[in-house]
Amino acid sequence: MTDSSLTRDEIEFYEKNGYMLHKKQLFSADKMQELSSIFEEQWELVGKKLNSELDTPHFRDERLLKFLLSDEVLDLVEPIIGPNIGLWSSHFICKEPLVGRQTPWHEDSAYWKGRLSRFDKIVTVWLAIDHSTKENGCMRVIPGTHNNGFSDYEAVDGEKNIFDTEIKNIDPDQAVYFELEPGQCSLHDSRIIHGAAANTSEHRRCGYTMRYFATDAQVITEKNHGHQIWLARGKDLAGNSFVNA
Tens-place pLDDT, residues 200-239: 999 999 999 999 999 999 999 999 999 999 999 999 999 9
Tens-place pLDDT, residues 106-147: 999 999 999 999 999 999 999 999 999 999 999 999 999 999
Domains and CATH numbers, the chain: 8-233 (2.60.120.620)
pLDDT band at 2 (very low <50, low <70, confident <90, very high): very low
pLDDT band at 75 (very low <50, low <70, confident <90, very high): very high
Rounded to two decimals, what is the model's pTM? 0.94
The full 3-state SS of the chain, as one line of letters, equals CCCCCCCHHHHHHHHHHCEEEECCCCCCHHHHHHHHHHHHHHHHHCCCCCCCEEECHHHCCHHHHHHHCCHHHHHHHHHHHCCCEEEEEEEEEEECCCCCCEEEEECHHHHCCCCECCCCCEEEEEEECCCECCCCCCEEECCCHHHCCCCCEEECCCCCECCCEEECCCCHHHCEECCECCCCEEEEECCCCEEECCCCCCCCEEEEEEEEEECCCCECHHHCCCCCEEEEECCCCCCCCECCC
